[in-house]
Amino acid sequence: MTEQQPSRGGTATAARLAAVQTLYRIDMGAVRPDLAIHAGIVAELDEQQRLTVDAAVLGDIVRGVVERQPQIDAMIEGSLDAKWRLERLEVVLRAILRAGAFELLARPQVPAKVVINEYVDVAHAFFLQGEPGLVNAVLDRLARVLRADEFTGVATTKV
């Protein structure tokens, strides 16, 4: 696992990266959600570079995932291949999927394709193997159910 800068810039993109890092810390039991959000206001990408994040977007994603985690986890489980279990996925990968699923579920002002692309980019920042493809596949499946109107002319399946 390596960390690289996501390809897109901007405070919302940085907030997504910070949200994933924050959700990772929460999942590891290292910090409470409210403290993790405060600590995530600056997303640390490497020792030389920091991006300023949109604190409102960061807070919305982290609080939303924490509040709706059982629902989000069930949706992700339903979108994974039968041989995969959410709890067996690497912690960062789980955080990426949870954040992306939350945005698809509860942030309709952000187009589904933007959400998917942003979290695939976040996955590329942490993984060099097939994980970004898994993120793309799972979030695409979710988007086609949760945002079917954005995928006109494409058949959808129930999650």
| Domain regions of the chain by residue span | 11-150
Residue 120 has pLDDT above 90, yes or no: yes
Tell me how far apart the alpha carbons of residues 134 and 18 are, in angstroms, rounded to a whole number.
Answer: 20
Residue 45 has pLDDT above 50, yes or no: no
Tell me how far apart the alpha carbons of residues 24 and 96 are, in angstroms, rounded to a whole number.
Answer: 9
Residue 125 has pLDDT above 70, yes or no: yes
Point out which residues pair with 50 in neighbouring strands.
44
Q: Which residues contact 15 (CB under 8 A, 6 or more apart)?
A: 43, 53, 54, 55, 57, 58, 61
Tokens of residue 25, six digits: 């810390």
Residue 46 has pLDDT above 50, yes or no: no
Q: What architecture (CATH level 2) is domain 11-150?
A: Orthogonal Bundle (1.10)
Asked if 44 and 82 count as a contact pair (C-beta separation under 8 A), the reply is no
Tokens of residue 12, six digits: 């919302």
Which residue would you say has higher pLDDT here, 112 or 151? 112
Location of structure tokens 């300023």: 52
Tell me how far apart the alpha carbons of residues 79 and 43 are, in angstroms, rounded to a whole number.
Answer: 29
Tell me how far apart the alpha carbons of residues 159 and 154 are, in angstroms, rounded to a whole number.
Answer: 15
Specify the range with the lowest mean pLDDT, choosing from 2-11, 64-73, 95-104, 148-157.
2-11
* pLDDT score at 37: 64
Which residue would you say has higher pLDDT here, 148 or 31? 148
Asked if 72 and 65 count as a contact pair (C-beta separation under 8 A), the reply is yes
Percent of the chain with pLDDT over 70: 78
* pLDDT score at 153: 62
pLDDT tens column, 18-43 = 899 889 989 988 677 766 666 554 44
